[in-house]
Chains A and B, each alone.
Chain A
Amino acid sequence: MTLLVMLLGLLTGAALQALLPAWPWLGGAQPPILLALVLFYAFAHNRGWMLLCALLAGLLQDALGQVPLGFSCFCFGLAGFAALRYRDDVEEHAWLAQMVFGGLAAAAVNLLLYILLHHADVVVVSFTLALRKTIGAALLGAVLTPLTFRVVISLERQLGERPATHKEAGS
């Protein structure tokens, strides 16, 4: 059932990420829904689920854009491991901690992706725009991460994956 919820979340998240508008004042950063899902599986499940989610989310993001296959998997994997490292801290003061971690992770992934793409010479973007995009990604990550957590938690609860008494990540 966890796999089903994950696949549903990833497919819907990928479609939304490609459809939602990218605001120019945020540097054209796309809403990091797939990254938020990876963070969720790092916080609320074990390492195996996080790695699977990072792999699938990365493949989806790269396939739905022009990014060479595997770049996003690598970035999402690193963000997932960082989330695993700090998962105990994030369970406290949930909303705020999730917002802060979501923002930081989105900024870090965005910057790392820029460095990889720039190094591979596949994207022509100035550093200023990359920086603006990173700040935009941080803001979007801070807003979307707690929301994504709530949506997936309620989906898992609806499907019986998560009992009501279970201590939820971020609740």
Chain B
Amino acid sequence: MRDRTLFVLILAGVILLVILNLPEPVSGRLKGFVRDAVAPLQELVVAISRQGQETIKLARGVSQLMSENQRQAGEIARLRLRLNELENLEDETLKLRHLLEFHNRVPRQLIAGTVLGRDASGWWQTLRLDKGANDGVHADMAVTTPEGLIGRVISATARTCDVLLISDPKCKISAIVSRSQAFGIVTGNGVTAQGQPVCRMEFINVDRRHPVQNGDDVVTSGLGGVFPKDLQVGRLENVKVNDSGLYAEADVVIAADLGALDYVFVVVGLSLGAPPAASPAAEAGTP
């Protein structure tokens, strides 16, 4: 019995050592395999979750109608229920139209993706999307929403990809202030205790004739080869300039709501890691 226990412990130790020392390509392939295997289940769970949310919305509507029924005739109740459904549909339609308008407005090729989940360990500010290499998504592609930039793809398997959010301290963006064209680097600064994702922007050699101010819009500069030019990042707050006036830093209030992302767009074709042409699976945008 003691020998068997010892054998199990040694076996577990050996397996753990092998896993910990796997070469990077093998480790990456293994991770990708597990991710792709779990992806359909994640899609199912997300679909069930969204369906559940819709059902709760409808149930709330029905509950309100029941109290109305005590005062009003059945016909009014029926019409209200119908109205409730139509309002839900209208909300959904407006949301989709908003996304479609953005898709058609942006002069870049975009791939629409659904958010499957966030980093399971909770140590990184990342998202997982349901689009991968099979759809033309590769590492170092920018990811955006109609409101603004949200991050970049850091890895892609055949069916999924991981997006590093701009609030992660490892994410750095070359950006400019729209009004003054002041150049700086935006770095993720995590999430506050109130749940607000934050970034910091550092300026070197600020042009004194065009100082940066609170409320200035920040957009991507297009330098660096990952983020396309002129994507909205956010706006400046708490601008601090040092005594020499050459160095400044500020908080950046992120334009996109990183806490409530359902659908996002991967920008194709402008990143260093991207192939020259989009795959057939990529959704066509306005050239």
Contact = CB atoms under 8 A, between A and B. Distances in A.
Interface of A: 11-12, 14-19, 22-25, 28-30, 34, 47-48, 51, 55, 59-74, 77, 113-114, 117, 123-126, 129, 132-133, 137
Interface of B: 5, 8, 12, 15-16, 19-20, 22, 27, 30-31, 34-35, 38, 41-42, 44-46, 49, 116-124, 126, 128, 154, 162, 168-170, 190-196
Does more than half of chain A's interface fall in helix, strand or loop, or is it mixed? helix
A55 B19 CA distance: 10
A61 B38 CA distance: 11
B117 A18 contact: yes
A66 B190 contact: no
Nearest to A117: B123
14 contacts: A11-B41, A12-B45, A16-B45, A18-B116, A18-B119, A24-B196, A25-B193, A63-B34, A64-B117, A65-B119, A65-B126, A66-B119, A66-B121, A124-B170
A34 to B, nearest CB: 8
B8 A51 contact: yes
A19 B190 CA distance: 19
Given A22-B122, A63-B34, A64-B120, 9 more contacts: A19-B117, A30-B119, A55-B15, A59-B34, A60-B34, A66-B124, A66-B162, A123-B124, A129-B190
A18 B120 contact: yes
B123 A18 contact: no
A48 to B, nearest CB: 6
A15 B122 contact: no
A137 B35 CA distance: 24
A63 B122 contact: no
B123 A114 contact: yes
Contacts of B22: 69-70
Contacts of A124: 168-170
A99 to B, nearest CB: 20
Given A18-B42, A24-B193, A64-B117, A69 B123 contact: no
Nearest to A55: B15
